[in-house]
Structure 1
Amino acid sequence: MQAARGTSLSDDATSDQPPPSTSRRRLWLRFAAVALVVYAVDVGSKILAVERLTGREDIPVVGDLLVLHLTRNPGAAFSTGTQFTEVLSCIAIAAVVLVLWMSRRLGSAGWAVGLGLLLAGVAGNLTDRLLREPGPLRGHVIDFLMLPNWPIFNIADMAINAAAVTILVQAFRGVHLDGAREDRSRDHDDDDPHETDPPESSPQEPTA
């Protein structure tokens, strides 16, 4: 009777846990939602920046700490590689494909958010390179957020930086893309030089 009841309780507990395919599907939906929302915010903010800031002077938002200043960047971050716009576009396309391929193995909520931010950031700037002047693969990226002593940037750049921080945190925690965790404590115990074998028990004399 007890064994039967124990089996029933075990089956009920197991049934409460979602199967791996369902859990992975939810993580992929979270990844897609983060990517789509941040991508939409980036594209929409760039459209508004072009409409409202073209031909206007800088607009202070938080004094001199945050200023709206429209600029068109043909290169990468910090205005580097301005003569390699087409190469940067091809690298961005490859990065989008790589992130989508990696998303099939998602097993961690942190990785889902990190990859979603990365996809949104890369795709947001890639959209400018594909659709804006002076032409496909050579389009200039719209930047409009300016901080003191810092290059002008946009929402996509913020998403890429946030993605890098999130992925680094996951790596520091030992969480892999598929959700597996590194057992660092066991590795530390194996390498402990002070670890000693347990003392052997002395044989007992037989009693009469």
Structure 2
Amino acid sequence: MARRIAVLATIAPIVYILDLVTKTVVLRTLEGRDPLVLIPGLLQFRVLFNPGAAFNLGVGMTIVFTCVATGVVIAILRTARHLRSLPWAVTLGLLLGGALGNLTDRVFRWPSGFGRDAPFQGHVVDFIETFPGHFPVWNVADAGIVCGGILAVFFAWRGYQIDGTRDTGQKGGA
């Protein structure tokens, strides 16, 4: 179990730190400027402050998303006590790092001109824009959440349990 917790405890801070560092660098270099085009029509960096959830859903519900993200972090930490699966350790590490990255923005980061009189209503910094104009702008935390979510669905579908067992879906009895 210690190895699996170590994996989770390594991946989560890596995702979290990468998210914070990239957001800090992008804000210092690109905020208030035109997008930085890396591959025309495919990839550019553009600073956006997202008050909602993924794909700009739920704008105006920042406090709700802050509470949900806090609940997700608590649930992952509680679930980790039963962790006996290396693939689930990777999955939970990605989810935890991503959730903490965006939660940090919601608690501490206000966009330019946004008053600090509204606690826990900060905006998530998104900056990676793939297929500009055709796909939402995202960040490293979002990538961790999406990859972790895909892995969670896959492992659940295949019957891999957090405790290391595998449910094959076969029922006993004749």
> Does the pair score TM above 0.5?
yes
- How many angstroms apart in 2 are the aligned matches of 1:55 and 1:96? 32
1:141 pairs with one of 114, 119, 124: 124
User: In structure 2, what residue type is equivalent to 1:176?
Assistant: Q
Structure 2 residue 137 is matched with structure 1 residue 152:
yes
1:53-64 to structure 2, matched below 5 A, reads: 53-64=30-41
User: In structure 2, what residue type is equivalent to 1:53?
Assistant: L
Where 2:126 maps in the other structure, the secondary structure is strand
| Alignment correspondent of 1:125 | 102
1:71 pairs with one of 21, 27, 48: 48
Q: Map Cα deviations across residues 88-139 of structure 1 (whole Å, 9 max, x no partner).
A: 1111111111110001111111100000000011110000011112443110
Q: Map Cα deviations across residues 147-203 of structure 1 (whole Å, 9 max, x no partner).
A: 12111110111111100111112112211110011244x54x968xxxxxxxxxxxx
Structure 2 residue 151 is matched with structure 1 residue 166:
yes
Q: CA RMSD in A?
A: 1.5
Higher RCO structure (Cα 8 Å, ≥6 apart): 2
- How many angstroms apart in 2 are the aligned matches of 1:131 and 1:150? 26
**TM-score normalised to structure 2 length:** 0.90
| Alignment correspondent of 2:89 | 112
Where 2:137 maps in the other structure, the secondary structure is coil
Q: Which deviates further from its counterpart, 123-132 or 164-173?
A: 164-173
The runs of 4+ residues in structure 1 deviating greater than 2 Å are none
| Bigger-Rg structure (1/2) | 1
Over 3 Å counting, the alpha-carbon distance change for 1:173 and 1:72 in structure 2 is same
Q: Count matched residues.
A: 166
- How many angstroms apart in 2 are the aligned matches of 1:109 and 1:77? 28
- How many angstroms apart in 2 are the aligned matches of 1:78 and 1:190? 47
**TM-score normalised to structure 1 length:** 0.76
- How many angstroms apart in 1 are the aligned matches of 2:62 and 2:2? 36
- How many angstroms apart in 2 are the aligned matches of 1:124 and 1:69? 18
- Bigger fraction of residues in helix: 1
